[in-house]
Amino acid sequence: MDSTNTPNSSDIDTRKILLIGDITGVFSDADAISRLPCQVHRNMLDGIDSAAKNSFLGIGVVMSGASTKLSSALKALREAHRDAKIVLLAQMHEEPAAMQLVNSVSNGKSVADDYLICPVNFSHLVSRLSYLIQGAAAPAPQETILEAPAAIDYTTERKIKHLERLATEDDLTGLKNRRYIWEFSRQIMELARGENGKVTLLVFDIDDFKHYNDVYGHCAGDEILKQAAVLMRRCCRGHDVVGRIGGDEFAVVFWDDPQLKRPKKEAERRSATAEHPKEAIFIAKRLRRELGKAEFHLLGPEGKGVLTISGGLASFPRDGSTVQELFLQADKALLEAKRSGKNRIYLVGRPPNDIADIE
C-alpha cells in the first residue's frame, strides 16, 4: 500500500494544505516551501475558488497585503470549504486584528481557527493544523492524514503553544511582556511612518506600590497587579496593546484602528505637529479613574479608592522617531508626574501637562 494513503493520526498531507497570499517573508524556511506540494494562491478570490473545488485539510491565510475586507473574505472562504481548518499568518502588529477574527463567529463557525505570528517555520504551520484537526471530530480515515514532513507530537504542540505565550506574555498578568511591547512598537511605528499614521505610548506605574507589598504581603501585591491588568484591558480598545514592562510598570500602545482605513487626504493632513489622538487621552483618563475606584478585596476595608497611578504620554512622530526615543520621552513625563505629586498622567512637554486639565 502506498504510504501516502496510510492513515496516521500524527501526520498531515502537505498536498492538502492551501496557502493564500504573498508568502514572501512569511516562512523562515522559505526554501523548503518550493519543494513542498501544497497549493499556493496569491489572490484571495483564486484561493476561495480553489477551496470550493478541492478538498483541503488546512488553509493558511497571509494577512499582510490582504484586503481591508478580510473578514468578509474569510467568511466566503469558510463557506467554500467548511471542513478545512483556517490559520491566519500574521505579523506582530496584525495580532490584535487576528485575535478579533479568530473570536468572530459567522453561521455558527469561527471566521478563523487560530493564528501564528510570522516569520514561522512551515512545519510549525503543519503542526498547528494537525493539532486543530485532532481537536475536531475525527474525520474519515481517507480525509485525515496522510504524509507529513515530520511526525507531529500533539503534546509537543501544546508545549510549543505554551512556550509561545511565555515568549510574548507576562506570566503573572497575562499582558504582553516588555520584549513584545518594544518589538510591536517598532513594527507599528514603521507602518505609521509609511501611512502618516499616529502611535501614542502610555507608560505608567502604581503609586507607592512597595507600600502594598510591605503592608499586605506579596500575594496581595500580585493580586493588585492581576486585577489592574483586567481593568486595563477593559478600558482600552481591542486593537490597543497593553503590557507589563517590569514590576508595577505598564505600557499601552495606542494606534490607528487597523479596521478603519482613513481617507488618503485625511492621512496626508497629519503631520509631526499633530496633537495626541483624543482617543488616547480619553482612554488614559478612564484608566486612571477606573483604577482609582477599584476594590481590592485582599486589602480589607481600605481596599477601595486607594490605588493611584502616575504616567507619561508620548506620541510618534512628534515626540520621538524611534522606540527608544518614545520610551525615553514617556518615562520623562512619568517622572515629572511623580515629582509633581503623583496620581496624574502627563503629556510630553505640553502645558498644561496634566491630561486632567485637557478637555
Residue 248 among the catalytic residues: yes
- DSSP code per residue over 167-190: HHB-TTT-SB-HHHHHHHHHHHHH
DSSP state of 238: T
**Contact status, residue 148 vs residue 12, Cβ threshold 8 Å:** yes
Gyration radius of the chain's alpha carbons: 23
Quick check: 223 and 296 in contact, CB under 8 A? yes
Q: What region, left, alpha or beta, does residue 77 occupy, with left being phi > 0 and alpha being psi -120 to 50 degrees?
A: alpha
The set of residues, in sequence order, having a beta carbon less than 8 Å from that of 66 and lying 6+ positions away, is 21, 44, 73
Q: Is the N-terminal amide bond of 277 cis, ω within 30° of 0? A: no
Which residues 6+ apart lie within 8 Å of 352 measured at CB? 358
3-class DSSP state for residue 213?
helix
Nearest to 251 by CA among 259, 261, 241: 241
Among residues 170, 248, 256, 319, the one annotated as catalytic is: 248
Report d(CA 346, CA 330) in Å as an integer.
9
- Contact between residue 113 and residue 131 where contact means Cβ atoms under 8 Å apart: no
User: What is the residue-wise DSSP string for 79-139?
Assistant: HH-TTSEEEEEE-GGGHHHHHHHHT-EETTEES-SEEEESSB-HHHHHHHHHHHHHHSPPP
Please give the grid coordinates belonging to residue 329: 520621552
Q: How far apart are the first and last CA of the chain?
A: 75
Alpha-carbon span 191 to 184, nearest angstrom: 11
Residue 66 CA, chain-centre distance (Å), reads 17
Q: Which residues are catalytic?
A: 248
